[in-house]
Amino acid sequence: MARQGSLSANPAPSLRIGEVARRTGLPVKTIRYYCDEGLLQSKDRSAGGYRLFDEENLAELAIIRALRAMDVSIPELARILEVRRAGVCNCAVLKDSIAAKMESINLRIGELAAMKDELARLLSSWQDCGGSKLQR
Amino acid sequence: MARQGSLSANPAPSLRIGEVARRTGLPVKTIRYYCDEGLLQSKDRSAGGYRLFDEENLAELAIIRALRAMDVSIPELARILEVRRAGVCNCAVLKDSIAAKMESINLRIGELAAMKDELARLLSSWQDCGGSKLQR
DNA sequence: GTGAAGCTTCTACCCAGTGGAGGGTTCTTG
DNA sequence: CAAGAACCCTCCACTGGGTAGAAGCTTCAC
């Protein structure tokens, strides 16, 4: 698939994992883990077996990072990236999973708010408790 | 196991794990796990090696359940229950950990709200994307 | 005494990584 | 060309809070 586009198209993969880590801010181990999980596909290996990445991989890692920060799971990310890799617009897939994510965030916020209220109630109901023994 | 005690003082431990599970709504495995982790101390064992619990254990499980629902960690719970078991008022300990918990809940709510905003922004910025191929 | 339900311990699995061991590769310097 | 530093590889074990299953023992009602 020699794509000889002029700009940042697809030069020979040349970035080693440490450089990718430096550029993305992700730990080397995490990048390797993403490779193992199939999220990231290093284009090639060096003669000595080193993973070699390209700019496209950096773009994928940017997506992974952003969506992971929003708690999109690894399997879901794998699905999204697979569709993306197929070259098809995956707006629908993304929109679905983002909408679902927003829904679950709303739920979670509601739960946390309820917890907070409960904790506040708990705290205020203890104002009278000194430091002495309790009969529990 | 004649239980002739009238109320919930401290009768001989007589509840087996299944009964405790039924009463608390927790899975048997979870209760066993709490025992293993030192949260819960079954008072005795039957001749055949079965864990035997009492009313006090039920009270502890109620505390565990309530605080776990608020994401208090197992080690922290162990600490709290240990103090409680020592018979000392642990209002200070509880208050500290609850205050810390409220703080972290606030942080988390802020994070989630920010995520939600970001997702909403993302979604609205994609309204123009059809179903066709993308050059990604 | 027999069958079912309940219990025991043990091992392994989930997620999303992280840490370390032990060993190979690449690059720079002399 | 050799040494050494920096880098990378795979493999295994661990995290937290449980959950699932296997193999075998106990309890209880009939």
Q: What is the pLDDT of residues A36-83, one digit of tens each?
A: 999 999 889 999 999 999 999 999 999 999 889 888 899 989 988 888
Q: Tell me the pLDDT band of B31, cut-offs 50, 70 and 90.
A: very high
* More confident site: B49 or A130: B49
**Residues of B with Cβ-Cβ distance to A105 under 8 angstroms:** 112, 115-116, 119
Q: Is the CB of B1 under 7 A from strand C?
A: no
CB distance B89–A123 less than 8 Å?
no
Residue A5: band (very low, low, confident or very high) from pLDDT cuts 50, 70, 90: very low
Q: Where residue B110 sits, what CATH number does that domain have?
A: 1.10.1660.10
Q: How confident is the model at residue B24 (pLDDT cuts 50, 70, 90)?
A: very high
Chain B residue numbers with beta carbons less than 8 Å from the beta carbon of A89 are 129-134
Domain membership flag for residue A7: no
pLDDT of residue B132 exceeding 90, the answer is no
pLDDT surpasses 50 at A108:
yes
Structural domain count of chain B: 1
Look up the domain containing A29 and give its range: 17-124
Tell me which long-range contacts B121-130 makes (C-beta under 8 A, separation of at least 24). B122/A98, B123/A95, B123/A98, B123/A99, B123/A102, B126/A91, B126/A94, B126/A95, B129/A89, B129/A91, B130/A89, B130/A91
* B62 in any annotated domain: yes
Residue A9 lies in a domain: no
In a domain, A102, yes or no: yes
Q: Is residue A10 part of a domain?
A: no
Question: Helices A91-124 and B91-124 sit at what angle, rounded to 10 degrees?
Answer: 160
CA distance A18 to A29: 10
B89 within some domain: yes
Q: Tell me which chain A residue has its CA closest to the CA of residue B135.
A: A87
Q: Do the domain assignments include residue A67? A: yes
Q: Are B112 and A109 in contact (CB under 8 A)?
A: yes
pLDDT at residue number B13: 65
pLDDT(A130) > 60: no
Give yes or no for residue B2 having a pLDDT over 50.
no
Q: Is residue A129 part of a domain?
A: no
Query: What is the pLDDT averaged over residues B52-59?
Result: 93
Residue closest to sugar C1' of D25 by CA: B48
Token duo for residue B40: 């819960």
Rounded-to-integer distance, Cα A29 and Cα B129, Å? 35
The sign one gets for the Cα dihedral B66, B72, B77, B81 is negative
Q: What confidence score (pLDDT) does residue B29 get?
A: 94
Distance in Å, residue B18 CA to nucleotide C6 C1': 7
Instruction: Show which of residues 50-109 on chain B sit within 8 Å of chain A, judged by CB atoms.
Output: 59, 69-71, 84, 87-89, 91-92, 94-95, 98-99, 101-102, 105-106, 108-109
Task: Check CB contact under 8 Å for B123 and A89.
Answer: no
Contact status of A126 with chain B (Cβ, < 8 Å): yes
